[in-house]
């Protein structure tokens, strides 16, 4: 069984170009599934039936996994069986008719424009780290890119003349993303100070990375999240804001100001329009609130 799983993991890494984060999640899900099957005395994926899969579903519910987590694990398992069927290893997938928990629609959290402006003013731009942090948050809000895409940016990915950045997104797909003047100016100020204040041996360590940590290495996703948490507290905002909330705010504010859904889909790098449509629920909720507050017979 492990051989089949390893073959599948190689396939999604090299043929599907899954990110390292997604690969890690799939590997963990499949290892848990494999461990469960062995506990149940099943030593061959060909012997798995619907009853055993329902037991796996019950096992996860018993361990208090959320509906979202259970659904994700079954997406992983379903994908594995589809691959094995395509490869001719299995004749049919036992997962096809298994119903996973129905997920409620959870609206993305986003900041108001005033909240965004408050946090963007927080960094001390007299320091190198403050200029870097300012540039990071301006870029997140200006482009709506994922934090994983942000930390992967190189200096050569920023086109100051044409106001675009080259982003490597999910599946290692590249796209050109518009970026505003505020963000470009913040990036330029950061790079200017970095070039004059950073010791040369530190710069040569990773000189092409756009955003560096204090040791001269490329920033991690977690370090960006910690940085934003710091500024949220500094701004006195009683909010729990992750880097992804900048992305949600970017999309919501565009739609609020009249952007069409297709354009926002392209800007977010979504493969399917249905993924972007969740943001229309936010704007609809806002309209309902305005209606309830202002209509005389609401």
Which candidate, 110, 143, 123, places its Cα nearest to that of 241?
A: 110
Q: Burial letters for 270-283: b for 16+ Cβ neighbours within 10 Å, e otherwise?
A: beeeeebeebeebe
* Alpha helix ranges (H) inside the chain: 2-14, 20-39, 50-62, 67-86, 113-120, 128-143, 147-151, 181-197, 200-203, 221-234, 243-256, 261-268, 273-276, 278-294
φ and ψ of 159, to 5 deg = -105, 100
Contact 148, 21 (CB under 8 A): yes
Distance of CA 178 to the CA centre of its chain: 19
Q: Name the residue with tokens 């982003």.
A: 167
The CA distances from residue 275 to 265, 286, 287, in Å, are 8, 19, 21
In whole angstroms, give the CA distance from residue 83 to residue 90. Answer: 9
DSSP 8-state symbol, 97: T
Question: What are the catalytic residues?
Answer: 146, 170, 244, 247, 270, 279
């Amino acid at each position: 069984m492990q051989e089949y799983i390893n073959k599948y993991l190689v396939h999604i890494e090299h043929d599907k170009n899954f990110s390292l984060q997604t690969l890690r999640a799939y590997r963990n899900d499949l290892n848990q599934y494999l461990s469960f099957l062995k506990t149940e005395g099943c030593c061959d994926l060909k012997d798995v039936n619907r009853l055993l899969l329902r037991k796996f579903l019950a096992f996860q519910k018993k361990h208090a996994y959320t509906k979202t987590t259970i659904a994700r694990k079954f997406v992983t398992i379903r994908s594995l069986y589809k691959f094995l069927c395509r490869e001719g290893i299995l004749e049919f997938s036992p997962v096809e008719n298994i119903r996973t928990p129905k997920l409620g629609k959870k609206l993305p959290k986003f900041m108001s424009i005033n909240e965004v402006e408050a946090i963007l003013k927080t960094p001390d731009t007299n320091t190198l780290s403050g200029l870097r942090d300012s540039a990071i948050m301006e870029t997140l809000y200006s482009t709506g890119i994922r934090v994983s895409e942000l930390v992967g940016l190189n200096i050569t990915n920023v086109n100051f003349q044409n106001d675009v950045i080259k982003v490597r997104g999910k599946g290692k797909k590249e796209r050109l993303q518009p970026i505003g003047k505020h963000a470009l100016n913040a990036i330029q100020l950061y790079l200017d100070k970095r070039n004059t204040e950073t010791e040369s041996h530190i710069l040569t360590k990773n000189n092409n990375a756009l955003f560096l940590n204090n040791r001269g290495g490329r920033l991690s996703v977690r370090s960006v999240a910690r940085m934003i948490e710091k500024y949220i507290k500094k701004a006195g905002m009683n909010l729990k804001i992750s880097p992804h909330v900048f992305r949600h705010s970017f999309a919501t504010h565009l739609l609020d100001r009249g952007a069409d859904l297709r354009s926002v889909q392209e800007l977010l790098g979504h493969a399917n329009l249905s993924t972007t449509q969740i943001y229309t629920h936010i704007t609809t909720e806002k309209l309902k609130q305005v209606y309830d507050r202002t209509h005389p017979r609401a």
